[in-house]
Amino acid sequence: MDLRRALDLNPQDPLAAEQLASHLGVFLVGPHDIPGMDAVTLWQLLFTDPSSWSALTISVGDQPVIIRNTEHAKTRQQSDLMHELAHLLCKHEPSMVLQISEFPYPLRDYDEEQEAEASWLGGCLQLPRPALLWAARRQLSEAAMVLHFGASVDLIRYRRQVTGVTRQLATFRSRR
Ligand SMILES: [Zn+2]
């Protein structure tokens, strides 16, 4: 992915979702930035389970705007924002556009395949394979990686697993 190069970042440099969003011309807001809207109202309007919403993308005219759930942990916000940015990068066409009566903007709904693709790409953006190898070679602890990459422990473990980095290092160590 040439995005890091465009941002003048090495693979092991942290990529904040805010930085990527600004590069892509996407606005990030919290529920409080929407007139007449706070997190609780948004929950009530959009979902029955308040913890279920993470981030959602709306279009204001042609301008994509991501509303983030500012109640969630910073690391979770990062991965949720990356997920939404990944939908935009993949130019996913919503399978359905929902209009909820009291919410002023249409909501996008993606199909399962698009969700999987966005989750995959979001993880790659935040923790590319070379970054995982870099951290492993320096024997960075999970806590150090959380701090460096702004990524959650869950995402770190997941990415190590799916990229085969865990396996690769185990083989490497057994050879020494
Ligand atoms: Zn999604």
- Residues 17 and 102 placed together within one structural domain of the fold: yes
Collect all residues with Cβ–Cβ distance below 8 Å to 129 and sequence separation of at least 6.
163, 165
- Residues 8 and 74 placed together within one structural domain of the fold: yes
With a cut of 70, say whether residue 46 has pLDDT above it: no
Query: How confident is the model at residue 51, as a pLDDT?
Result: 59
- Residues 22 and 65 placed together within one structural domain of the fold: yes
With a cut of 70, say whether residue 27 has pLDDT above it: yes
Q: pTM for the whole thing?
A: 0.87
Collect all residues with Cβ–Cβ distance below 8 Å to 86 and sequence separation of at least 6.
117, 118, 119, 120, 121, 122, 125
Q: What is the mean pLDDT of residues 118-142?
A: 95
- Residues 60 and 96 placed together within one structural domain of the fold: yes
Shortest CA distance to 15 belongs to which of 118, 150, 116?
A: 150
Query: How confident is the model at residue 1, as a pLDDT?
Result: 56
Q: What is the mean pLDDT of residues 44-54?
A: 63
User: 115 CA distance to ligand 1 centroid (A)?
Assistant: 5
Domain count, the chain: 2
With a cut of 70, say whether residue 145 has pLDDT above it: yes
Binned at pLDDT 50, 70 and 90, residue 60 comes out as confident
User: 45 CA distance to ligand 1 centroid (A)?
Assistant: 19
Highest mean pLDDT among 14-23, 41-50, 86-95: 14-23
Q: Domain limits at 86?
A: 3-126
- Residues 115 and 145 placed together within one structural domain of the fold: no
- Residues 18 and 105 placed together within one structural domain of the fold: yes
Per-residue pLDDT tens over the stretch 160-171: 999 998 888 777
Least confident of 57-61, 74-78, 97-101, 109-113: 97-101
User: 157 CA distance to ligand 1 centroid (A)?
Assistant: 21
User: 138 CA distance to ligand 1 centroid (A)?
Assistant: 33
- Residues 49 and 100 placed together within one structural domain of the fold: yes
- Residues 19 and 96 placed together within one structural domain of the fold: yes
Query: How confident is the model at residue 69, as a pLDDT?
Result: 86
* 117 and 90 Cβ atoms separated by less than 8 Å: yes
User: 167 CA distance to ligand 1 centroid (A)?
Assistant: 29
Between 80 and 41, residue with greater pLDDT = 80
User: 83 CA distance to ligand 1 centroid (A)?
Assistant: 6
